[in-house]
């Protein structure tokens, strides 16, 4: 039971950081859509999808709410869309590296 609780807490933390990273990079690159919708926060409630959270508790796999991005607001839409997309997985990789360091 203890391991399951730690696993779920870690996943919620990872999902929150992942989605926040998308929002932060989009905001930095000129798209305030996520900020206007209250998604530029580290509050997990803003990033957890109801069904994704239920699946997390039921089967140990879940997902967060997709961050809204309007590519027309980005300074360089094609390039910046790629940066916004890579921000989430990049944050997960950085977290994995940071956690694995002694």
Active site positions, annotated: 19
**Residue 95's closest CA among 8, 35, 3, 10?**
10
CA 64 to chain centre: 7
Cα–Cα distance measured from residue 34 to residue 6, given in angstroms and rounded to the nearest whole number: 29
């Amino acid at each position: 039971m203890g391991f399951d609780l730690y696993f779920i807490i870690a996943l919620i933390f990872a999902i929150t950081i992942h989605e926040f990273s998308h929002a932060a990079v989009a905001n930095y690159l000129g798209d305030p859509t996520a900020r206007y919708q209250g998604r530029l926060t580290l509050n997990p409630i803003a990033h957890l999808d109801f069904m994704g959270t239920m699946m997390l508790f039921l089967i140990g796999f879940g997902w967060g709410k997709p961050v809204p991005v309007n590519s027309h607001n980005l300074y360089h839409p094609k390039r910046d869309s790629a940066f916004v997309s890579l921000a989430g997985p990049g944050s997960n990789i950085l977290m994995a590296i940071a956690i694995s360091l002694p």
